[in-house]
Structure 1
C-alpha cells in the first residue's frame, strides 16, 4: 500500500530545550495511522544547535521519517516547497515546528478526505485561549469559502491532495512567511473543487511563533502577492470585493491599531504606516470602507489622510475597552447546567460604552476629541441589530473550546441622545453533547463570555464577586454517569469540572466556599461537599500549616455531615482548637494554609485562614498562602493618624516595591 499522508515540517534551530518542538515530534511519531501509511519530512534550515543530529537519529530508526538538510534562509518558505516536491503521499499536511497533532489526527482527516473526495480538508484547530472560528461550528462535506467563513482559517494547517497542488502549481511565494501561507491557502480555496471541514475532531494544536522583526516593505509586498491571487482566481466581482475587504481588515488595518501600533517602537511606526498607506491608496478603493466594522472605518479614514499621530492617539484611546459580565444564577435542570448572565461593554473607567441616537439611526463616536466620522461611516444601526452574546467553555489542560447554546435578548435604554446596550441570556451546558454532539472530556472547563455590540467586541471570564456562592450541587450527568461540579477557580472565575479524579479533588474545587464558626474556644471549619458517595466518603483530615513558620502544623479529623438543601449535599466539618499563643495541637495568630489529607495524600485547598491576635479567625477565599495583605503595625497605624502620614506610608511602600528586591519564597 502506498503512502497516504506526507507531513511536511520546516525546522529552524528550535534548540535542545524547546519543549514545543519535542511535543511536535512525539505527536508525529505516535499517530494511530500505521507507520507504513504515512511519512514525516523534516526540512531543516541548516540548524547548528544539535537539531540536525537529533532528527537524523530519529530517521535512522524510523523508516517513515526523512530529514532534508537545506541551505540556511531563515524562512520556512523554502522548506515547505522542497518538502512538497519530494512528498510521496496521496495527501500532504503542513505543520509548524511548534504545533502538535492529536494521535488520531492523520487517520481521521485522511478518512474524511477520501469519503468526501476533498482537494482540501480542514481539521479542527486549537490555538491558545482564542474561541474557535465559526467555520468549526459543524462538519461540512462541501464547504463554501465565503458562506462558511473559511477566510478565518488562513494558515497552512490543512490536508491537501498532492495531485491537486501539482496540477494547479500551488507553491509558497518567497514573501513574508505568514502572507506566503495566506497566498498559498487562498489559491487552494479558490481553485479547489471540494473543501471539507472536519469540526468534531480536534486535529492540531497551533503553537505560538516568536515575533519577527518588522519589515514594512516586506509586509506590503506580501499583501500584494495575496491580492494578485485574488485578482487571478476570483470567480465574480462580488467575491473579489469581499476578499479585498477581508484583506484590508486583517493585513492592513489590524497591524495599524489595537495593541499593536502603540506597542511598536516609535521609530518603526512611520515606515510601517507609510508602506501600508501607499498600499491602501494603490489597491483598496475608498468604497470598501463602508463594509468594514465601524472602528476600522475610522482607522481607514486616518490611513488614507496620512494622519499617523491621530491614528496612534485613537489606538491608545480605544485601549481599556472590556466586557463586564454578571453571573445572575447557576442551577441544574436535570442533567443540564443553566447559566443566567448579563453582559455589557465598558470603557477603561468602567462606564458603559454608548451610542448616539440620530432620529431612527444609531451612530458611533470615536473616543478621540476633535475627530468625527461622516454619518454614513458612523452609522451602526444594522450592525446593532446583529448584536449578540456568546458563551463558550475551554478545557484548562488541552485548550479545547466549544460554544454553548444561548437564548436571550439585547436590551437598550436611552438617556437624552445616548443609547446604552447590554445583553441578557441563558447558556445551557449539556455535558453529554457540548463537544459538538459528543460528551465533554474529563477535567476542568473554564466558562467564557463574548459580546458583539455592533460597534465593539470584547470577551472575559465569568467571574464571581468576593463571597459569591454557587447555589448548585454536583450532578451525575451523561451515560456512563460522570460527576460534574460547578466551581470557582482560584481567581474566583467560574469553571465546570467533569469527573474529578478523587473525592478530595471534588472538595478542593468548591473549597472557596469554606466558612468558620466559633464555639467554646474552638473554630469549626466547614467545607462544602458537592457529592457524597453512598459509602459516605473516605476518612479525611484537615492539615493546617503556618505560613510564616512552616514547622508549625496542626492536623485534625474531618467528618462528613448533611449539607445545605439546594446548595450542596454534604459538608466536611473539622474542629480546630484556637489559642492566643503558639503551642501544640492548636492554631495561633497568623495565616494558616489548609490542606485536605485523604488516603495519605494531601491536596491544597483554595482558601487560607487568618487568625487575629484577639482570637477571631476569618476565611480568605481564593487567596494564596503568604499573599494576604498583612495588618498594619502599630507605628504604621499611628502614622496614618498624623497629617500627611497616609501619603508618606504609601510613598514608602511604593519605593520598597519598586526599588527593593522581593523577599524570596521559602
Structure 2
C-alpha cells in the first residue's frame, strides 16, 4: 500500500534554539503510523540559521522525511505549493513550523477521512499555551492574519462533536480559516487548489476548499494539532481591501445568490473588515491610518456589500456599516471610544456537589466600561439597542432592533488547561432574565453548568491537572470572562469522583479566579490550592489561623506544621503544629487550625509586627500557601490575599504589605 498521509511544513529560519520548532519535528517523527505509511515534507524557504543542515541530518536517518531546498521568498505560500505538488500521500496535511501534532493525529484523521470519504477533514485544534516559544516572525506580504491564533480563546463551535457530513455554516467552519486541514490529494488536483501569494492567502484557499468539497468531516473528540500562538498579523488597508475582494470573488464563483452567499459574505466582512473599526488597535492608530482604513472599507462597503446583508450582522457591526455608508469617520471613532472597555461580568451564585458532579450556579451580564449595565429601549414589543454615545443616525428601529438576538442569548461555560490550551465545553442550561425600568430593559443570562470529571472531555475523563473555568455569553454583545471569587463564603470541599476515583477540588487562583484541580499531587498541594480562603482570629495572646482543607483522608492525613517566615526585617521563622479536622466530603471542607503566639514587640517564638509568609511542612517538604499574615504594631493580625478579586490585575504580596505598613504608620501618627 502507498503513502497514506503527506505532511507539508513550510520552514523559514525558526532558529536552532527554538524549542517549539524542535517539538514540531519530534511530533512528526513520533507518529503512530508506521514510517512507510506517511511522509514529512519540509519546504525550507532559504533558511540561513542552520535549519537546512539540521533537517538534512534528520532526512539522512529517516527515509520518510524529505527536505525541499527553495530560494528565499519570504512567504510560506511557495513552500506549501511546492510541497503539495510533490506529495505522494493519499491525503495531505498542512501545518506550520512551530505547531505540534499529537502522536495519534495522522492515524486518527486518516481513518476518519477514509470512513467519511471526505475531501476535507478538520482535526481538533488547540492553541499552544501562553508563554510557549514562538517561531520566526511572520510579516511577509503574502501571509494572512492568523485569526485563529489568539490565545485563551473559548472552544470553537466547530468542535462540538464529530461530523461525518459537516456544513460550513451550521458547523461554523468559517471560524477555522487556517491551513490546518487534511485534504484528499485527488480533490486538490481535480480542483487545482493551490495557495495564492496575495493577502488573505489562507482564507482564500480555505474558502475555496470548503465550497468545492463534496464531503467535509470534523474530528472533534480529541486534539490533533497544537497551533503556534503567534500574534495576529496586521494587513494594511490596501492589502485588506485587495484580499477581501478576492475572498468575495471566490464566494461568488462557488455559490448562487441567496442566504448562503450573504451569510458567508457577512462572516468575512465582519471578522476581517468591520472588526478593525473598534478596539485598542483602532483607537491607538494614527489619525491618518484610521482615515485610510475608513476610506478603503467604505469603498469596499459601497462596491460589494448590499444593504440586505446587514440583517446577518450583530447590532454593533450594523452600526459601523451605517456610519461607513453615511461617510462619518469621526462618529466611528466616537462609537469605538464609547464601546471600549465593555466587558462580561460573571457572578457565581452557588457552588455545590451533586453526586460527584460539580454544579455552578451563574449569572452573566455585559457591562459598560463604567461598570453599569447595558440598557435597551422598549418600543412596540421590540427591544432596541441604545448606542453607548449619543450618535445621530443610529436610531432607526430596523438598524438597532435586537429582539431576536436577545431571545437567543445564552450562557456557555468551559474549562481550559492553561498548560496545553485544550478547552472543553460543559453542559449548561441558561435562561434570559429581564428587568424593565421606565421603558428601559436590562438583560442577563443565568443558569447552571455541570462539571463531571468522568465525562467532561467530550465523553472521556478530564485529564489530571489544573483547569480554569471560563464563561462566555452569546447574543447581543458576546463576551467571555473568568469567574471571580464571591464575597459570600463559598465551599471548596473536594470529592473523590470519576473512575478511577480521583480527588477533584474547586479552588481560586492568586487572581481570585475559579479553577478546578483534578488529582492534586499531594495532600499539601490540595490545601495550598484553597489557602487563599484562609481566615485569622485574635484571642488573648494568640492568633488562630484557619485554612480550608478540601479533603481529609480517612486516616486523618499526615502530621502537619505551619511554617511562618518574616518577609522583611531579620528574616525570622517559626514552626507551629497544626490540627487537621475533617469535614463532610462534597459538602463541608475540613479545617487546618494553628494557634500562633503574637507579641507587639516580637520574639523568637512569636509573631511580631511585620508581614509573614506561611507554608505547610509535611514529611520535611514544604508547600507555599496563597496568603500572608500582617501584624500591626498594635498586635492586630490580618490576612493578606495574594491577589485582587474580580478580575483586577494581580498584585504582589510585597506591595500589599508595603501599603498595609504605610496605613498602620499613618494611623499611629
* TM-score, normalising length: structure 2: 0.90
Between the aligned partners of 2:600 and 2:62, the Cα distance in structure 1 is 68
Please report how far the alpha carbon of residue 93 of structure 1 lies from its aligned counterpart in structure 2 after TM superposition: 0.9
User: In structure 2, which of residues 582, 599, 604 is the aligned counterpart of residue 579 of structure 1?
Assistant: 599
Q: State the secondary structure of the residue aligned to 2:660.
A: coil
Within the alignment, does 1:278 sit opposite 2:278 as a pair? no
User: In structure 1, which of residues 430, 435, 440 is the aligned counterpart of residue 457 of structure 2?
Assistant: 435
Cα RMSD (Å): 2.2
Q: Indicate conservation of the 8 Å contact 2:504/2:517, yes or no.
A: yes
Gaps of 5+ in 2: 128-150, 644-651
Q: Indicate conservation of the 8 Å contact 2:567/2:613, yes or no.
A: yes
Between the aligned partners of 1:515 and 1:636, the Cα distance in structure 2 is 24
Within the alignment, does 1:110 sit opposite 2:110 as a pair? yes
Q: Indicate conservation of the 8 Å contact 2:262/2:312, yes or no.
A: no
Q: Indicate conservation of the 8 Å contact 1:214/1:268, yes or no.
A: no
Between the aligned partners of 2:573 and 2:465, the Cα distance in structure 1 is 31
User: In structure 2, which of residues 236, 239, 245 is the aligned counterpart of residue 224 of structure 1?
Assistant: 245
User: In structure 1, which of residues 517, 525, 532 is the aligned counterpart of residue 545 of structure 2?
Assistant: 525
Q: State the secondary structure of the residue aligned to 2:220.
A: strand
Q: Indicate conservation of the 8 Å contact 1:257/1:299, yes or no.
A: no
User: In structure 1, which of residues 398, 408, 411 is the aligned counterpart of residue 433 of structure 2?
Assistant: 411
Please report how far the alpha carbon of residue 408 of structure 1 lies from its aligned counterpart in structure 2 after TM superposition: 2.9
Q: How many residues align?
A: 636
Q: Indicate conservation of the 8 Å contact 1:593/1:625, yes or no.
A: no
Q: How does 1:440-479 map to 2 (within 5 A)?
A: 440-454=462-476, 456-465=477-486, 468-479=488-499
Please report how far the alpha carbon of residue 520 of structure 1 lies from its aligned counterpart in structure 2 after TM superposition: 4.6
Please report how far the alpha carbon of residue 94 of structure 1 lies from its aligned counterpart in structure 2 after TM superposition: 0.8
**Change in 2 beyond 3 A, CA 1:440/1:277:** same
Q: State the secondary structure of the residue aligned to 2:23.
A: helix
Between the aligned partners of 1:372 and 1:419, the Cα distance in structure 2 is 22
Between the aligned partners of 2:501 and 2:535, the Cα distance in structure 1 is 30
Q: Which deviations, in whole Å up to 9, do the C-alpha atoms of 1:305-360 show, x marking residues without a partner?
A: 33222212211211111112211111111111111111211101111101111121
Between the aligned partners of 1:566 and 1:146, the Cα distance in structure 2 is 42
Look up the match of 1:400: 422
Look up the match of 2:8: 8
Q: State the secondary structure of the residue aligned to 1:174.
A: coil
Between the aligned partners of 1:581 and 1:617, the Cα distance in structure 2 is 14
Q: How does 1:47-446 map to 2 (within 5 A)?
A: 47-127=47-127, 128-176=151-199, 179-212=200-233, 214-235=235-256, 237-373=258-394, 374-446=396-468
Please report how far the alpha carbon of residue 569 of structure 1 lies from its aligned counterpart in structure 2 after TM superposition: 4.6
User: In structure 2, which of residues 630, 638, 644 is the aligned counterpart of residue 610 of structure 1?
Assistant: 630
Q: Indicate conservation of the 8 Å contact 2:493/2:585, yes or no.
A: no
**Change in 2 beyond 3 A, CA 1:34/1:604:** farther
Q: State the secondary structure of the residue aligned to 2:653.
A: coil
Please report how far the alpha carbon of residue 88 of structure 1 lies from its aligned counterpart in structure 2 after TM superposition: 1.6
Q: Indicate conservation of the 8 Å contact 2:208/2:250, yes or no.
A: yes
Please report how far the alpha carbon of residue 417 of structure 1 lies from its aligned counterpart in structure 2 after TM superposition: 1.9
Q: Indicate conservation of the 8 Å contact 1:607/1:619, yes or no.
A: yes
Q: State the secondary structure of the residue aligned to 1:432.
A: coil
Between the aligned partners of 1:89 and 1:335, the Cα distance in structure 2 is 47
Q: Which deviations, in whole Å up to 9, do the C-alpha atoms of 1:82-120 show, x marking residues without a partner?
A: 111111211111112232222221121111111212111
Q: Which deviations, in whole Å up to 9, do the C-alpha atoms of 1:360-386 show, x marking residues without a partner?
A: 111112223232322211111111111
Q: RCO higher in 1 or 2 (8 Å CA, sep ≥ 6)?
A: 2
Between the aligned partners of 1:116 and 1:635, the Cα distance in structure 2 is 70
Please report how far the alpha carbon of residue 633 of structure 1 lies from its aligned counterpart in structure 2 after TM superposition: 4.8
Between the aligned partners of 1:476 and 1:636, the Cα distance in structure 2 is 48
Look up the match of 2:132: none
Please report how far the alpha carbon of residue 475 of structure 1 lies from its aligned counterpart in structure 2 after TM superposition: 0.8
Between the aligned partners of 1:103 and 1:50, the Cα distance in structure 2 is 27
Q: Which deviations, in whole Å up to 9, do the C-alpha atoms of 1:273-321 show, x marking residues without a partner?
A: 2222222221222221122111111111122233222212211211111
* TM-score, normalising length: structure 1: 0.91
Please report how far the alpha carbon of residue 433 of structure 1 lies from its aligned counterpart in structure 2 after TM superposition: 1.3
Q: Indicate conservation of the 8 Å contact 2:632/2:664, yes or no.
A: no
Between the aligned partners of 1:621 and 1:426, the Cα distance in structure 2 is 28
Within the alignment, does 1:36 sit opposite 2:36 as a pair? yes
Please report how far the alpha carbon of residue 506 of structure 1 lies from its aligned counterpart in structure 2 after TM superposition: 0.8
Please report how far the alpha carbon of residue 572 of structure 1 lies from its aligned counterpart in structure 2 after TM superposition: 1.9
Please report how far the alpha carbon of residue 171 of structure 1 lies from its aligned counterpart in structure 2 after TM superposition: 0.5
Q: State the secondary structure of the residue aligned to 1:631.
A: helix
Q: Indicate conservation of the 8 Å contact 2:274/2:317, yes or no.
A: yes
